[in-house]
Chains A and B, each alone.
Chain A
Amino acid sequence: MTQTETFDDLRDLYQDVILDHGRNPRHAQRLEAFDATAKGDNPMCGDRVQVWVKYDADRLDRVGFEARGCAISVASADLMAETVSGRGKADTKALFEAFRTLARTGACPDCGQSLAEPLERLAPLAGVHEYPSRVKCATLPWHALIAALDGTKEASSE
């Protein structure tokens, strides 16, 4: 039996992409120069995240974060940071709505073609829809990002 087969029952949520980004996040750092920041807090489980955003004109140039939480929330923050860089604000908000649907239901059938590519990159997180109590882990960094874009300081996933 290979290693992969041995852990088949554990992989529906914890895919390799999530384990990798959860363990070795690429964007887990506070930005030295930033234009906006906000914190996200999930009081039910104690997860906390802070997100920093640097704009380039009206686009998100870079996103960095610091997270204290589970592998799902760290991986989600990292995939988010990776996916939104280079996007406009409105585009990012639309992607958040699509991602939220993906996290809650496992799919986003009504999402437009324009979001197909970024959603594909976030798709490894779709497995959380089977675990209602974990959906918030995946969406918390996004709530913090949207709060930063809106100029509010605190977001809650509640």
Chain B
Amino acid sequence: MNVAINPATLDIERIRADFPILTQTVRGKPLVFLDSAASAQKPRVVIDAMVNAMETQYANVHRGLHWMSERTTEAYEAARDAAAALMNANDRSEIVITGNSTGSINLLAHSYGRGVMKPGQAVLISGMEHHSNIVPWQMLRDAHGIELRVAPITDAGELDMAAFEALLEDGKVGLVAITHMSNVLGTVTPAERIVSLAHAFGAKVMFDGSQAIVHRKIDVQALGADFYAWTGHKLYGPTGIGILWGRKELLEQMPPFFGGGDMISSVTYEKSTWAAVPHKFEAGTPAILEGIGLKAAIDYVQSIGYDAMAAHEASLTEHALARLSKVPDLRIIGQAQDRGGVISFVLGKAHAHDVATLLDRQGIAVRAGHHCAEPLMHRLGLDSTARASFGVYTTHGEIDALADGLDRVREFFG
């Protein structure tokens, strides 16, 4: 891809200036942060929004009749509007605010799984899921008599569509719960195709969009999805806040997960009634400051634009694949055609933890391990990989630093 002729470019120097942490040095070297898929760094606007809220207008939300509470409620609820616009949700009430993607998926497994699905039905996941999209379904299986099916992946690290379709064919699958982009392989799954197949066999679809929402414009209506889960902290927002989008008629069928304040319509000792969607899923004082921070993060991302972010990431990924493929003995794990800026690799016989520590000595932060995807590691025949992942602030020079750093690690280990 030639970035020069793409109109959607971004001014990388200006963007880097937005992230205060990027001027830090680590172990005496300039920070090369290539672990954004685990959690992204925060721009100044997010930091300032949260600090400013604490300094000027903080109170609890949804209950106070005073000025502070009203201002805070307004600022917090703006996150819901921003998330709805970001995903092109049909209505702001379809945005359930949770703690993170894991919280979103557990909510769905509990409320939709136990509340709407019937024993004997199945949930279909893929062979490249994060533990957060495996374990809640295992718990549902064991508690509620739901079968758990796993669609295999190909050696290239793509979803095996024929096998996926075959697993839907008996009509027992009530819900497909699948990643939209693998946190290990970088594979972007064919979402439209998944939805049309699932719907043809009567299954609803939830995407785990933890990685995808960082890299691609998500339009839930165009996708035709039923649920979409993601987390704020990978999208340059704070930790402790995530989103579950769901189609309103489905959310309305689902019983609450947590009970408590803020989720009720009325309470007597005999009986309580629930607030309307989405509040019936949001018991207790929410992550107020994190909501305000998430709103700022979404605004920030929207101001750059997904076209520019995606073009930058595609260029970085192409550059990284080219540079890393020239490092002797380095093997890239995952060769999907449609992929994002997450690249796993192994270096000769060196253990991924040694590689990561030796890169860290050079100021380069990568992740190493099983990436919370042990079944995928088994499928790949690996114990662990090292992983470099990119953000909007990542430069081509940082990828060169990684490749040079890996050359040194290789020489060092001999």
- For B413, give its contact among A19, A68, A134 (CB under 8 Å): A19
Of the residues A9, A19, A137, contact of B353 by C-beta under 8 Å: A137
Q: Does B370 interact with chain A (Cβ within 8 Å)?
A: yes
A72 proximal to B (CB < 8 A): yes
Asked if B354 and A10 sit within 8 Å, CB to CB, the answer is no
Hey, which chain A residues are within 8 Å of B394, CB to CB? none
A46 lies within 8 A of B384 (CB)? yes
Q: Which of B358, B369, B412, B414 contacts A46 (CB 8 A)?
A: B369
**Complex Cα gap A134–B413 (Å):** 18
List residues of chain A with CB within 8 A of the CB of B352: 70
Task: Digitize B369-381: 1 where CB-to-A-CB distance is under 8 Å, 0 elsewhere.
Answer: 1100010010000
Task: Please indicate the chain B residues that have their CB under 8 angstroms from the CB of A14 in the complex.
Answer: 354, 358, 412
Q: Beyond A13-B357, A45-B369, is A7–B383 a contact (Cβ under 8 Å)?
A: no
> Measured between alpha carbons, how far is A9 from B352 in the docked complex, in Å?
19
Tell yes or no: A69 within 8 A of B by CB.
Answer: yes
Contact check, A10 vs B370: say whether CB atoms are below 8 A apart: no
Cross-chain contact B361 with A70 (CB below 8 angstroms): no
Within 8 A of B (CB), among A7-50: 7, 9-10, 12-14, 19, 23, 44-46
| B384 lies within 8 A of A45 (CB) | yes
Question: Do A7 and B408 touch (CB < 8 A)?
Answer: yes
The residues of B that contact A134 with a CB separation of less than 8 Å are 353, 357
- Chain A residues contacting B389 (CB-CB under 8 Å) are none
- A19-B413, A69-B351 are known contacts. Are A10 and B408 too (CB-CB below 8 A)? yes
CA distance A137 to B368 in the complex (A): 14
Option from B351, B369, B412, B414 in Cβ contact (under 8 Å) with A10: B412
Chain B residues in 8 Å Cβ range of A6 = 408
| Interface residue ranges of B54-104 to A (CB < 8 Å) | none
A71 in the interface (beta carbon within 8 A) = yes
Q: For chain B residues 256-271, which have a beta carbon within 8 Å of chain A?
A: none
In the assembled complex, the Cα of A153 lies from the Cα of B374 at a distance in Å of: 24
B362 beta carbon closer than 8 Å to chain A: yes
A135 to B351, CA, bound (A): 16
* Nearest opposing residue in chain B for A71, CB measure: B354
**When A19-B413, A69-B351, A70-B354 are in contact, do A9 and B370 touch as well, CB less than 8 Å?**
no
Q: A19-B413, A45-B369 are in contact. Are A70 and B408 (CB under 8 A)?
A: no
Cβ contacts under 8 Å, A7 to chain B:
408, 411-412
B413 touches A70 (CB 8 A): no
Complex Cα distance, B383 from A137, in Å, reads 15
Q: Give complex CA distance A30, B357 in Å.
A: 29
B contacts, CB < 8 Å to A: 27, 350-354, 357-358, 361-362, 369-370, 374, 377, 383-384, 408-409, 411-414
What are 21 A-B contacts with C-beta separation under 8 Å?
A7-B411, A9-B27, A9-B361, A9-B362, A10-B408, A12-B361, A13-B357, A14-B354, A19-B414, A45-B384, A46-B369, A68-B383, A69-B353, A70-B351, A70-B354, A71-B350, A71-B351, A71-B354, A72-B353, A134-B353, A137-B353
